[in-house]
């Protein structure tokens, strides 16, 4: 490691090698800045957003705390461990390269998009986890020599010599859940909503001209004339209104999802205080990375291009 700090070696280094080290140092410093911004914003929104109860939550950006619950119907099964859960994410990595260039390369990864519930003492809300920052309760890592695990955690081989690494993260039914996101309750539709649904229905019919002519070309001249198109519009509105009447007969459904702007969407099985502590640690690590990498990058440039050799005495 000493060669990376020896002024003479830095001055004598091949230009390509020097600029590689300098680029890596400044890229790490930029990553530190990005981490500072990323984690600071999340901390600010967590600390500044007041907690709401599901029953009385306002429409918009809210903070909820409750427990994770499965919805009725088909169970959610994690792909690698085959365990039932509320949310999962996995990746399978392969050991590639040789010697000092060996590294883990991701072969495939996937994140669950199934809906589940957050429930508190006042009610329940559907959670759409798409594009959420998730801090789950279960994090499993194990190893094997096949591109898909033949067993779950504890049944794989040791990491030394393994060709594949399997990583799976899960939120379980019943886990405590902290959530920060966009809260919306599906209520009665407006006339504009109905008009848009009618338009979408007509666009769908127009894509299938054979079907359209079969159902609305009443004079069988091979085309849908203006009078026949008006009949299609009336039928589309009737179908849309029928669907909306059926929807209004069902109770309103509240949903938590990704905000429409760039505010963070967070799902965490950690309590709020522990989540804040973890984000502060990440923030401190980002600051340390920025300071160390930036200092080293500046040191490299200073040594390489300084007109006075390091350690040289000043002239009297």
Going residue by residue through the chain (316 aa), what tens digit of pLDDT does each one get? 455 677 878 787 788 888 888 899 999 999 999 999 999 999 999 999 999 999 999 999 999 999 999 998 889 999 999 999 999 999 999 988 877 788 899 999 999 999 999 999 999 999 999 999 999 999 999 998 899 998 878 765 666 778 999 999 999 999 999 999 999 987 555 556 778 888 889 999 988 888 988 899 888 888 888 888 989 999 998 888 888 777 666 667 899 999 989 999 999 999 999 999 999 999 999 999 999 999 988 988 888 887 555 455 444 4
Separation in Å, CA 100 to CA 96, 97, 110, 239: 11, 8, 29, 65
The predicted pLDDT at position 249 comes to 60
The predicted pLDDT at position 246 comes to 72
Give the other-Cβ count within 10 Å of 193's Cβ: 12
What predicted TM-score, i.e. pTM, was given to this entire model? Answer: 0.71
The predicted pLDDT at position 4 comes to 67
The whole-angstrom separation of Cα 58 and Cα 81 is 38
The predicted pLDDT at position 316 comes to 42
Residue showing tokens 């004079």:
219
Is 67 strand, coil or helix?
strand
Query: For the chain, what's the residue count?
Result: 316
Instruction: With CA atoms as reference, report the closest residue to 266 among 76, 127, 155.
Output: 127
The whole-angstrom separation of Cα 286 and Cα 235 is 60
The 8-class DSSP code of residue 84 comes to: B
Contact between 205 and 228 under an 8 Å Cβ cutoff? The reply is: no
């Amino acid at each position: 490691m000493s060669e990376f700090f020896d002024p003479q070696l830095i001055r004598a280094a091949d230009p390509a090698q020097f600029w590689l080290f300098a680029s890596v140092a400044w890229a790490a410093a930029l990553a530190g800045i990005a981490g500072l911004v990323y984690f600071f914003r999340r901390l600010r929104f967590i600390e500044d957003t007041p907690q709401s109860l599901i029953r009385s939550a306002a429409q918009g950006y809210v903070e909820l705390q409750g427990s994770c619950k499965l919805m009725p119907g088909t169970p959610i099964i994690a792909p690698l461990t085959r365990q039932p859960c509320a949310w999962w994410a996995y990746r399978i990595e392969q050991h590639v390269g040789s010697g000092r260039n060996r590294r883990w390369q991701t072969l495939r990864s996937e994140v669950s998009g199934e809906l589940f519930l957050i429930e508190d003492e006042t009610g329940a809300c559907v959670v759409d986890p798409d594009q959420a920052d998730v801090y789950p309760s279960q994090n499993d890592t194990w190893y094997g020599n096949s591109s898909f695990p033949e067993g779950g955690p504890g049944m794989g081989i040791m990491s030394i010599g393994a060709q594949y690494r399997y990583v799976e993260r899960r939120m379980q039914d019943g886990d405590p859940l902290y959530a920060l996101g966009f809260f919306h309750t599906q209520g009665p539709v407006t006339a504009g909503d109905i008009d848009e649904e009618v338009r979408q229905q007509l666009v769908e019919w127009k894509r299938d001209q054979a079907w359209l002519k079969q159902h609305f070309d009443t004079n069988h001249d091979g085309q849908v004339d203006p009078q026949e198109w008006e009949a299609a519009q009336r039928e589309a509105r009737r179908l849309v209104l029928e669907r909306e009447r059926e929807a209004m007969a069902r109770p309103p459904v509240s949903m938590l999802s990704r905000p429409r702007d760039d505010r963070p969407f967070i799902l965490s099985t950690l309590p709020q205080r522990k989540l804040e502590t973890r984000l502060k640690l990440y923030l401190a690590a980002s600051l340390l990375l920025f300071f160390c990498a930036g200092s080293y990058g500046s040191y490299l440039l200073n040594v390489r291009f300084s007109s006075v050799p390091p350690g040289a005495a000043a002239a009297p």
